[in-house]
Structure 1
Amino acid sequence: MIAVAIIAIIAAVALPTYQNHVERTRRTTAQSDLLELAQWMERRYSNGFDYRVGGADPTLPFTQSPQNGTVFYNISFSGNVTRDTFTLQAVPTGGQTNDPCGTLTVDEQGNRGAGQAGCW
């Protein structure tokens, strides 16, 4: 009985720690994907001095994070893309919806945002 109790205590401590680590890993992947897309947008701008395509929002090369496998963030533009501005957002979904950081954002100036301080 004592061994079972010790294993239960260890599991009660280890499981939440593991779950927090998994959430942070998924968030880091989404942040990396947002920065990759921001660089993609900057390459577009350097070719034509406009983030848009014929006045319309460009089609992103991918819209989920991670790019393959189970989706934990949906990536899209937050608002309209203008000639000189854009804001990308990663909205948590599925197993990531309880993440306290919430929606992650990055704009053309490299400004990063989240639902809570310290998430970037």
Structure 2
Amino acid sequence: MIELKTKQSGFTLIELMIVVAIVGIIAAIAYPSYTEYTERARRTDAQGALMGLASALERHYATNNTYAGAASGGSDTGAPAIYPDEAPIDGGQKYYDLTIQSADGASFTVRATPKGGQAGDGILELDSTGARRWDRDANGAFGAGENTWDKS
């Protein structure tokens, strides 16, 4: 009787383990880059929303000769009545609250505060002189070197 050997094809367990290890290494490298990218994109969107709120305040000033009264209920501080109060403003999940920190006859300060899971990203602020501040270390205060929106 003649025995025929059949050739079996497939992957060995070692080969599968190597592929899984390679995929794991790639994921470990890619995931932090992805999360940093999404944080930057959200922050950039909040910066754009602050610029939009500042423009709305300028329109309010042109109509009323004062920045005062632009917040909800005619107040000088709090959620804006003249612009959306969250960013992104075009829908989807909201990552920042927009507020008017101060508004009087001649100046204003607006702020974007991160919501919940974004809390470690720090507060963004813009005032009527164009000064931009970013609380990079998320300690609740603007220290030395935090007078710009740039990451440097």
TM-score bracket relative to the smaller structure: 0.7 to 0.9
1:99-118 Cα deviation digits (max 9, x unpaired): 2xx00000111111011346
**TM-score, normalised on structure 2?**
0.70
Secondary structure, in 3 states, of the residue corresponding to 2:112?
Answer: strand
Which residue of structure 2 aligns with residue 33 of structure 1? 49
For 1:60 and 1:107, how far apart are their aligned partners in 2? 16
Q: What amino acid is the match of 1:119?
A: W
Q: Which of 110, 115, 122 is the aligned partner of 1:88?
A: 110
Gaps of 5+ in 1: none
1:78-115 Cα deviation digits (max 9, x unpaired): 2x31111110000001332222xx00000111111011
Decide whether the 8 Å contact of 1:50 with 1:84 is kept in 2.
Answer: yes
Equivalent residues in 2 for 1:61-72, closer than 5 Å: 61-67=83-89, 68-72=91-95
**TM-score, normalised on structure 1?**
0.88
Gaps of 5+ in 2: 1-16, 137-145
The root-mean-square deviation of aligned C-alpha atoms, in Å, is: 1.9
Report which structure shows greater RCO (CA 8 Å, sep ≥6): 1
Which residue of structure 1 aligns with residue 99 of structure 2? 76
Q: What amino acid is the match of 2:68?
A: R
Q: Which of 30, 36, 42 is the aligned partner of 2:58?
A: 42
For 1:53 and 1:21, how far apart are their aligned partners in 2? 37
